[in-house]
Amino acid sequence: MGVSVAVLLTLWELAVAVFQPRPSILPPPSRIVEQALLHAPELAEHTLATLIVTLAGFTCSLAFSWAVAITVDFNDTLRRAITPLLVASQTIPIIAIAPLMILWFGFGLLPKVLLVVLVTFFPMLLGLIEAFRATPSGKAELLASMGATRWQQFRFLRLPQAIPAFFTSLRIAVTYAVVGAIFAEYAGSTAGLGVYMAVQKNAFRTDLVLAAVATTAAVSITLFALAVLAERLVAPWALRVRQDTAGRRR
Amino acid sequence: MNAPILQVQNLSHHYPDGTATLDALSFDLHEAEVVSLIGPSGCGKSTLLRVLLGLEQPTTGQVTLRPGTPEHPFAYYAQDDNLFEWRTVVDNAALGLDVARRNRAASRALVRAMLLEFGLDGFGDHFPSQLSGGMRQRTALLRTVAQHRPILLLDEPFSALDALTRSDLNTWLRDAATRHGWTILLVTHDQAEARFLSHRIIELSARPASVVGVSTAKDRMAVAVSSRDGITPVPADLQSSALGPSARRGVWTTLKRLDDFTARRKCSVLNVADSEIVVD
Q: What is the DSSP string of A14-58?
A: HHHHHH---TTT---HHHHHHHHHHTHHHHHHHHHHHHHHHHHHH
- Tell me whether residues A144 and B55 touch, CB distance under 8 A: yes
Q: In this predicted structure, what is the pLDDT of residue A245?
A: 59
Please tell me which residue of chain B has the smallest CA distance to A142. Answer: B76
Using 70 as the pLDDT threshold, list the residues of chain B that sit under it.
1, 206-280
- Residue B65 makes CB contacts below 8 A (sequence gap 6+) with B5, B6, B7, B73
| Closest CA relative to residue B33, chosen from B77, B2, B76 | B2
Q: In this predicted structure, what is the pLDDT of residue A159?
A: 95
Please tell me which residue of chain B has the smallest CA distance to A145. Answer: B53
Question: Which residues are registered as beta bridge partners of B8?
Answer: B27, B63
pLDDT over 90 percentage in chain A: 66
- Tell me whether residues B127 and A142 touch, CB distance under 8 A: no
- Tell me whether residues A240 and B127 touch, CB distance under 8 A: yes
Residues A150-154 have a mean pLDDT of 95
Mean pLDDT of the residues in chain A:
89
Between residues A120 and B215, the one the model is more confident about = A120
How near does any CA of chain A get to the CA of B263, in Å? 36
Domain range annotation of chain A: 30-246
Residue B165 is which amino acid?
Answer: T
How near does any CA of chain B get to the CA of A31, in Å? 50
- Tell me whether residues B86 and A160 touch, CB distance under 8 A: yes
Q: Which of A139, A145, A235 sits opposite B84 (nearest CB)?
A: A139
Contact between B225 and B59 under an 8 Å Cβ cutoff? The reply is: no
- Tell me whether residues B76 and A142 touch, CB distance under 8 A: yes
Domain range annotation of chain B: 77-148
pTM (two decimals): 0.76
Residues of B in contact with A237 (CB under 8 A): 85-86, 127, 129
Q: In this predicted structure, what is the pLDDT of residue B80?
A: 86
Residues A242-246 have a mean pLDDT of 62
How many Cβ pairs closer than 8 A exist between chain A and B? 62
Q: From its phi and psi, is residue B69 left (phi > 0), alpha (psi between -120 and 50) or beta?
A: beta
Residues of B in contact with A248 (CB under 8 A): none
Q: Which of B75, B84, B130 sits opposite A160 (nearest CB)?
A: B84
Residues of A in contact with B80 (CB under 8 A): 138
Q: In this predicted structure, what is the pLDDT of residue B211?
A: 57
Question: Does B147 touch chain A if contact means CB atoms closer than 8 Å?
Answer: yes
- Residue B108 makes CB contacts below 8 A (sequence gap 6+) with B90, B91, B94
Q: Which of B74, B86, B129 sits opposite A145 (nearest CB)?
A: B74
Q: In this predicted structure, what is the pLDDT of residue B24?
A: 78
Question: Does B118 touch chain A if contact means CB atoms closer than 8 Å?
Answer: no
* B197-255 tens-digit pLDDT: 888 888 877 665 555 422 222 222 233 333 333 333 334 333 333 333 333 333 333 22
Residues A60-64 have a mean pLDDT of 96
Please tell me which residue of chain B has the smallest CA distance to A245. Answer: B129
Between the two ends of chain B, the Cα-to-Cα distance in Å is 25
Residues A137-145 have a mean pLDDT of 91
- Tell me whether residues B85 and A145 touch, CB distance under 8 A: no
Residues of A in contact with B100 (CB under 8 A): 146-147
Angstrom distances, CA of residue B100 to CA of A149, B25, B104, B138, B261: 10, 31, 10, 21, 38
Please tell me which residue of chain A has the smallest CA distance to B49. Answer: A145
- A117 pLDDT tier (thresholds 50, 70, 90): very high
For domain A30-246, the CATH superfamily is: MetI-like (1.10.3720.10)
Question: Does B76 touch chain A if contact means CB atoms closer than 8 Å?
Answer: yes
Question: Does B78 touch chain A if contact means CB atoms closer than 8 Å?
Answer: yes
Q: In this predicted structure, what is the pLDDT of residue A239?
A: 75
- Tell me whether residues B84 and A141 touch, CB distance under 8 A: no
Question: Does B98 touch chain A if contact means CB atoms closer than 8 Å?
Answer: yes
* A157-213 tens-digit pLDDT: 999 999 999 999 999 999 999 999 998 888 878 889 999 999 999 999 999 999 999
Q: In this predicted structure, what is the pLDDT of residue B209?
A: 57
Please tell me which residue of chain A has the smallest CA distance to B127. Answer: A237
- Stated as kind and residue range, the H or E segment containing B28 is strand B20-29
Question: Does B99 touch chain A if contact means CB atoms closer than 8 Å?
Answer: yes
Q: In this predicted structure, what is the pLDDT of residue B238?
A: 39
**DSSP 8-state symbol, B160:** T
Contact between B229 and B30 under an 8 Å Cβ cutoff? The reply is: no
